Structure 1
C-alpha cells in the first residue's frame, strides 16, 4: 500500500529558491523547509534572503542557507547553481519566483522598460532552467518549478508586456518538460492570481481596486503567499511524480469564471 504521507516528505532533499526574500518565494522556501528539505535561499535582497534562511533554521522545522543572487543576471544564476552543486553535490528541487511588472500601455512602454521586464521575468527563467536543468539531467532526477501567472491566459489594459513574459514562461515550461522528461526531470509552473505580496502592494493600497480584484475570485478575497508556496511544495514533491509540463492555477477560481460573480444565489423550489 502506498505511503501517501511519505510522498510529500522532502527530508534529505536539496532545494534552491530564487526570490526567497519575500512574497511567494519566501513562502515557497518556508514550505519546502518545513517538509524537510535543506533550502538555499537566494535573492538580490541579501538581507531578506538571510532572514528567510534564519527563520527556517530557527523554527526547528528545517535547515537553510542563503546566497545573494540577482535573478536578472545569468552569471549570478550560474554561480548559484555551481555553489549548490559544489556544496551539496546535487540539487533536487529548484524554484524561481522573481518578477517585475511595469504597468503601462504598450504604446507608452520604452525600450528600456521592455528590456527590464523581459530580462528578469523571461530571460531570467531561461537562465534558471538551463543552469539547474543540466545538473538535474546528469543526476537523472529533479523538479523545476517556475512562477507564471494567470495573466498568461487573461489580460487587462496595461499588463500586455508583463503578460507576454508570463505566457512565455508557461510555454518554456512545456518545451523544457518535453526535452528533459526522458532524463527523469520534471518541469512545472504555478499560475497565481492576485496574491498579497510586495509586487501587488500598490494595488492593495487602493481600496476600490482591491475589492474589484477580490470579486474576480470565487472566494471574494486575495490569496496569501503561503497558498502558492503549498502548491510549489506539492509540485516539487514525489506526490506530483507524474506531473510535468503543467501550469497549476492557484487563482481562487479567477480563470474559471467569466468575470466577477453576479451575486445571484440558486434557490431550490419546494414541492
Structure 2
C-alpha cells in the first residue's frame, strides 16, 4: 500500500515564497514550514520578510528572510544567488489599479503588468531552469478568479491574471518531461492588503461576501492549504492546472452591485 500519510510531508525540502511578508504569501510560508519545509521568505519589504521568518522560527519551523523585488531583474538575480534552486517556488504578489479601463494611464497599465505578469515571469525565468536541470520541482504562481470572471474597474488586473494562467500552462507543457510541475491558484475575495480598498467600504464588503456561495470573505490561511497541496507529492500528477479557492464565486451567477462610480 502506498504511504498516503507522507504525501504532504515536506521534510528536507526547500520552498521559496515570494511575497511572504504579508497576506497569502505569509500564510503560505507558515503552512509550508508547518509541514516540514525550510522556507525562504522573500519580499520586496525586507523587514516584513524578516518578521515572517522570525515568526516561523519562533513556532519551531525553519525559515530565512530574503529581499526580492519582482520588478527588478537584478534583485531577482541577487536573491537567486543566495537561495539556490528550491524544491518549490511560490509566487504571490500582485497589485491592482481599480478604475474604468478607458481612464487608465500608460503608467498605471504598465505598473500592473510589470508586477503581476512580467514580475512572475522574471522569477520563473530565473528559478525554473535549475529545477529542470535537477529533474524535479513545483512552481506555484497566483492568478485570480479574474482570470475567468471580470467586473468593471479590473480590466488590466484581469488581463494579467488570465495571461499568468496561459504563461504557466505553456511552461507546464515545456517542462513536464523534465519533472517540473507548474500550476496556478485562483483565489476569490481574501482579506489581504490588496483588498483594503474594498474592505474599507461596508457596502462593497458585504456585496462581495454575498457573491460567494459561502457568503463570506476568506482569510489568508484558507488559501494556504492549496499551496501546500501543490508544493507536495500529494499533487504529483497535477500540472498545468488552475485551482480555484474562491468560496464558490465562479460557480454562482450573479450581478455586480453596487456599480462602479462613473468617471
* Normalised-by-shorter TM-score class: over 0.9
Specify the alignment match of 1:72 in structure 2: 71
Specify the alignment match of 2:111 in structure 1: 116
Q: Note if 1:17 corresponds to 2:17.
A: yes
Q: Note if 1:139 corresponds to 2:134.
A: yes
Task: Structure 1 unaligned segments of length 5 or more: list them.
Answer: 261-271
Specify the alignment match of 2:81 in structure 1: 82
Whole-angstrom distance in 1 between the partners of 2:204 and 2:183? 30
Deviant stretches of 4+, over 6 Å:
none
Question: What's the offset of the Cα at 1:68?
Answer: 1.2
Task: Structure 2 unaligned segments of length 5 or more: list them.
Answer: 256-263
Give me the TM-score of the superposition, normalised by structure 2: 0.95
Whole-angstrom distance in 1 between the partners of 2:111 and 2:200? 25
Q: 2:221 aligns with which of 226, 238, 251?
A: 226
Question: What's the offset of the Cα at 1:82?
Answer: 2.1
Whole-angstrom distance in 2 between the partners of 1:92 and 1:256? 33
Specify the alignment match of 1:185 in structure 2: 180
Question: What's the offset of the Cα at 1:247?
Answer: 0.9
Structure with higher Rg: it is 1
Q: How does 1:1-271 map to 2 (within 5 A)?
A: 1-60=1-60, 62-85=61-84, 90-259=85-254
Can you list the C-alpha shifts for 1:30-82, whole angstroms capped at 9, x where unaligned?
0101000000001011111000000111101x200011111211221222222
Whole-angstrom distance in 2 between the partners of 1:83 and 1:203? 37
Whole-angstrom distance in 2 between the partners of 1:118 and 1:138? 29
Give me the TM-score of the superposition, normalised by structure 1: 0.92
Root-mean-square deviation (CA, aligned residues, Å) is 0.9
Whole-angstrom distance in 2 between the partners of 1:246 and 1:75? 30
Whole-angstrom distance in 2 between the partners of 1:241 and 1:76? 31
